[in-house]
Structure 1
């Protein structure tokens, strides 16, 4: 069995700090079958440890609208020829940098294409627009909504989802939202990649599993790390908060009395240790 955790980073101090947490968590759980594959700009890759698998890519700029929508890079990096080597893996996990793996990852091998949870479909208008967009491009939509940004499954399928997601994101940015960006929490330009990947999964995958317990689980939880494989830092000021971490607000805290079997304490423990074990160059 061979797995890869795949992320994109550019030369942004916050992103690199977050990547350090993911890197440190993978080392901590001693996953023998998991590689950390980092797509990124030359400047970013030069600052991360050599035991990551590094793939240099540029910032997406075609169409020009992508330059003002940096989220596209997290999926466009898997859509190009540079990512074909990922097909050699049994599973890939496409995720964001602000995540952690727990010991539960070491026995997490779902049989279906699996995603985490999302929260971008909040009204009937958005549902209707998504179905219209899919129909316009002759794509199937099975009615599965609010699929998370983390995708776990067969490499070829994950990459094909990303390709369609990039195509649809381009259509959304250059056509649908060209004059009007919409308004959150309804139909909104800011989550174009989520819309695109949702339609792509609905089109390509017959058996979709939304595993809210093992993918994209919240970092402020007191649940056991042995019940949740993958932790995502949602927008919160509660412990553990990526915002407080990147601001340095946790730097003087001690790890001695933490219960690292609990998610929020585990994340803090990993994060504080990442500053020692992830030597940004």
Structure 2
């Protein structure tokens, strides 16, 4: 007791004692969090009208791990394709993504920088009013977060003969031979550009440590401000297209293509990881999409004349997901690519009303699935939530409540308001 009394009276000893007590607790917390995100979560899926529990991954090789590097400056880019000719439909989604991006930065370490990187053909007035800058690369790690717009020439509008004569293509590396194939076979597939930007626009996002390749109809949660992939793995979200039929078909197609197949399915459209790895996947995905479109779909299917008749077993509308699945399965075996199945972190439902889910699973990213449950992007765009004030959800800790608040606030705020919040975002971030 006398020794303890002497230690506590000495200031230096007191500091050392505090460090000895607190440091193990911090390490335990980090370990517990990491373990909670490295378990394989069984999925419930409807196959041929029956519910069956399937394990997407039969071993522990593809665990999703994230961490928060201490005292590190990190650059991240949120990569999206914005179809300017459908701005009426997609502007609301961009605005709520923009609002959630700002909200996320409130919990982001002060040395981190996360840019919103948009690829489109026209630098529209709406993008200008949001304070976005045009065709300007990030040049250092201290520059404030920016909304960056880069010119991107869409596949279906390309004039192959004059493809090199466009002055705006400063950061787009177009493979002319593949462009001919894409325009010939995927001209009418409306999602091809959302993955082609990752394949062709690498010079505009190569400087980032991590990119999030995502659709527009998403929300970044405050937890995205905390965590990056651990040990350079690529995190992928979850899809909802897998059945026994198409999984078996993918195995056969991979053999026909002389590719490997690692039996990983239901891979979502969201990727979070290294820019170089993402570009590699995008290139292979496009190759697979071309092969599938030419060899595995009939003309009526490509022309969408069958609608959803063959869903979920085989559907041309999710060609991008099919191509990505083949690419990722091949690369994890052929090139030992590190993969993490982030099924509790990415592409999470905006309809989840569990008030404890955020705290338990710490989702990084919410995605609007096709639903009419709250939060529904369809009902939002139809004005069904216009009479609801966002303050109703200020204390709602569920994913649904967070999505509702971000979307409703984005609707009420002007572009100038959002721009000003972006300018002040890092000033209020937590160290």
TM-score (norm 2): 0.61
Q: Do the aligned residues in 1 keep the contact of 2:96 with 2:410 (CA within 8 Å)? A: yes
1:242 aligns with 2:377: yes
TM-fit CA distance, 1:58? 2.2
1:211 aligns with 2:290: no
Q: Distance in 2 between matches of 1:240 and 1:33?
A: 29
Residues 127-146 of structure 1: pairs in structure 2 closer than 5 A: 127-146=247-266
Q: Distance in 1 between matches of 2:203 and 2:377?
A: 32
Which stretches in structure 2 are left out of the alignment for 5+ residues? Answer: 1-73, 133-145, 157-181, 417-431
For structure 1, which segment, 146-155 or 54-63, has the greater mean C-alpha deviation from structure 2 after superposition? Answer: 54-63
Q: Distance in 2 between matches of 1:260 and 1:214?
A: 19
Secondary structure of the residue aligned to 2:90 is helix
1:114 aligns with 2:235: yes
Q: Distance in 1 between matches of 2:244 and 2:121?
A: 37
For structure 1, which segment, 180-189 or 268-277, has the greater mean C-alpha deviation from structure 2 after superposition? Answer: 180-189
Q: Do the aligned residues in 2 keep the contact of 1:23 with 1:278 (CA within 8 Å)? A: no
For 1:55, the equivalent position in structure 2 comes to 150
Deviation by residue 1:153-190 (Cα, 9 ceiling, x = unmatched): 11101111111111211222233214352721112211
Q: Do the aligned residues in 1 keep the contact of 2:202 with 2:275 (CA within 8 Å)? A: no
For 1:87, the equivalent position in structure 2 comes to 206
For 2:316, the equivalent position in structure 1 comes to 189
Deviation by residue 1:47-95 (Cα, 9 ceiling, x = unmatched): 2221411112122223234232111111011111x33231211111101
TM-score (norm 1): 0.92
TM-fit CA distance, 1:46? 4.2
For 2:389, the equivalent position in structure 1 comes to 254
1:39 aligns with 2:119: yes
Displaced runs of 4+ in structure 1, greater than 4 A?
Answer: none
- Specify the structure having the higher radius of gyration (Cα): 2
Q: Distance in 2 between matches of 1:242 and 1:268?
A: 10
Q: Structure 1 residues 83 and 267 mapped into 2: Cα distance closer, same or farther (>3 Å)?
A: same
Q: Distance in 2 between matches of 1:119 and 1:278?
A: 35
TM-fit CA distance, 1:278? 5.9
Q: Structure 1 residues 229 and 135 mapped into 2: Cα distance closer, same or farther (>3 Å)?
A: same
For structure 1, which segment, 199-208 or 227-236, has the greater mean C-alpha deviation from structure 2 after superposition? Answer: 199-208
Which stretches in structure 1 are left out of the alignment for 5+ residues? Answer: none
Q: Do the aligned residues in 2 keep the contact of 1:103 with 1:225 (CA within 8 Å)? A: no
Number of residue-to-residue matches in the alignment: 277
Q: 2:325 aligns with which of 162, 173, 198?
A: 198
- Structure of higher RCO (CA pairs closer than 8 Å, 6+ residues apart): 1
Q: Do the aligned residues in 1 keep the contact of 2:236 with 2:342 (CA within 8 Å)? A: yes
Residues 61-80 of structure 1: pairs in structure 2 closer than 5 A: 61=156, 62-80=182-200
For 2:399, the equivalent position in structure 1 comes to 263
CA RMSD of aligned residues (A): 1.9
